Amino acid sequence: MTALIEDPWKEPVTALFAGIGILYITLKIFSFWRLIASLFILPGTSLSKFGRKGSWAVVTGASDGIGKEYALQLAAKGFNIVLVSRTKSKLETLASEIQSKYTSVQTRTLAMDFSQNLDSDFEALKALVSDLDVSILINNVGLSHEMPVPFIQTPEKELKDIITINCMGTLRVTQIVAPGMVQRRRGLVLTMASFGGILPTPLLATYSGSKAFLQQWSSALGSELKPHGVHVQLVQSYLVTSAMSKIKRASATIPNPKQFVRAALGKIGRSGGAQGIAYTSTPYWSHGIMHWALG
């Protein structure tokens, strides 16, 4: 009878793979509890760290949806508001609403079409904020495709508008506002992003690429401005009821702008579902869980 020869490597290899499995499961459990704590338990940084009540917040894309809600909620917290968007009548209506609800809050408005990328518009914005203590910048202005379309069939104007608004508009506004924050050694630069920048999105290729650009830019900017006391946060979102998403009804997992902005402002400095991504947060609970699962 032939004696069985045991493989001397069998037990060590088995132990190695068992150890790797245990380590992986342990890390996932720890990561999950970090997620739960970030989304549901731990508070974010108080906005008072970035500026006192009576200082100013600049909100782009302020006339509708998420931008409008940022303006309203920041006004409710005592910040004066600079409203920047395309339609003058909507800005004036929102300014009146803010001043009627919060009588001590001041507003300034600037109607500008970011798709035009006009030097005169940005000079007007620079002049508008030059004498203000701006403690918060909300980079919310953005544009998506009118409808899903293959890249090679996307109209040239749509390509240009998406890149000009989402990228150049955000960069130029930040270059105007951030130097004052650096000088005062405090401030918050919050930029709205999208899952389209995390997951390459066919039929929305240009929009997806523009949001991926903002992810990388915001992470780099965060490293540059942190030594100067300025916090940079990219806020990731999935579906929210808005004109851009074309979703009209909120659900258990799809928030309306009010719910989303409350989460975003309440979780400054918390990663939510964006674990391991510098200067990034996915603050709304359903979006955060989805982002974590994708990671």
- Supply the pTM of this predicted model: 0.92
Q: Print the domain residue range for 210.
A: 47-294
What pLDDT is stored for residue 5 in this prediction?
58
Quote the tokens at residue 232. 């940079």
Q: What is the CATH number of the domain that holds 85?
A: 3.40.50.720
Given the structure tokens 């991504």, which residue do they identify? 277
By residue count, the chain amounts to: 295
* 31: in domain: no
Is residue 38 in a domain? no
Residue 17: the pLDDT is: 78
Closest CA to 257 of 163, 107, 138, 170: 138
Q: Which of 70, 102, 207, 279 is catalytic?
A: 207
The sign of the dihedral angle between the CA atoms of 60, 135, 286, 34 is positive
Which pLDDT score, from 0 to 100, does residue 1 have?
Answer: 47
Active site residue 238: no
Q: Does any domain span residue 111?
A: yes
DSSP codes of every residue in 17-60:
HHHHHHHHHHHHHHHHHHHHIIIIIS----GGGT--TT-EEEEE
Residue 42 lies in a domain: no
Cβ-in-10-Å burial (0-12, 13-18, 19+) of 22 comes to: exposed
- Domain for residue 66, yes or no? yes
Over the stretch 165-196, which tens digit does the pLDDT of each residue have? 999 999 999 999 999 999 999 999 999 999 99
**Do the domain assignments include residue 194?**
yes
Is 73 within the bounds of a domain? yes
In a domain, 224, yes or no: yes
**Among residues 68, 70, 211, 284, which one is catalytic?**
211
Low-confidence ranges of the chain (pLDDT < 50): 1
pLDDT at 133: 98
The tally of domains found in the chain comes to 1
10 is catalytic: no
